[in-house]
Structure 1
Amino acid sequence: MSRAFGTGSGPARTLVAQAFRPARAALWAIVWIVATALLAANATAQPDIRQMAGVPLPSADLPNGTVTVRVVRQTISTNAPDQRVELVGGTEPVAEVTDASGRAQFENVPRGVTMRAVAVVDEERLESQPFQLPEEGGVRLLLAAGVGMTRG
């Protein structure tokens, strides 16, 4: 009766196990390093909401004269519904309320007027950079509460 080397018990099995112990430890160390690197890369791949918040983005896919403001809390995936948003800068402020997706849409906004989007969420005043509508399309904005974007 023959057995494969290292499949039984006894001194031969112990020697094989001892011989591969450093290799197994090295393999686990490599797996740990790779997993850590992948997690770190994923974390850095997330957009920095503070850099996006309040910055007007011209959008040719919106109808002419349209401003869309999305309001979130702390993360891009936490919508802030039922929030009052104002466009300030014209003759008088115009207000809309965010829907379930955290968006307030303003239509027929006049061109040539410098304005800002303003909202107060959980007592935090959020304010966009000043902007004007482009010749074609509209403007998209993101206002984010709880990320230190307070201005004014």
Structure 2
Amino acid sequence: MAKYLLVSFKTCPWVQRAAIVLREKNIDFEFRHIEPDNRPDWFLAISPHKKVPVLRLDDKLSLFESNAIAEFLDETTSPRLHPEDPLTRAVNRAWTDYIPTFAAEVTAVAYADTEADYLKAKERIPVPFERLEGALKKQGNGPFFNGSKYSLVDASYAPFLQRYVFLD
């Protein structure tokens, strides 16, 4: 089996997404934290976009972008977290592709330049949650996106949803 190194900032939700998949699949890996304001040269040499996450395989190849890492791990290691049915899998992928938009809409208040922008962003916070809740209702009964089966959608949203508990 390949040797995996996951490079992270300590609290990065995008890295946590990859870590959740690694742990869910019981894949042995090394977790190495770096500081966002002091990225070491060895990291800059292995990260094409100079950001985390990076999953290093056998100290030879770097995978980057949390979705690509999760998809690779799911395709190469059992058990599969994506559904077998192509249509259901496509719906799942659409919802994992929505995460950057979801996160941007929810965190927009943190980046508002004026009080008016802040209030406008605050009003919009419920919208992405309503979209996600609507999808969950359509997907069936159970604690997970696909009912009783844990999936990459669940692994992908978990790092973000745990941060937004305070919004309720």
Query: What TM-score comes out, normalization by structure 2 length?
Result: 0.21
Q: Which protein is richer in helix relative to its size?
A: 2
Q: Which protein is richer in strand relative to its size?
A: 1
Query: What TM-score comes out, normalization by structure 1 length?
Result: 0.22
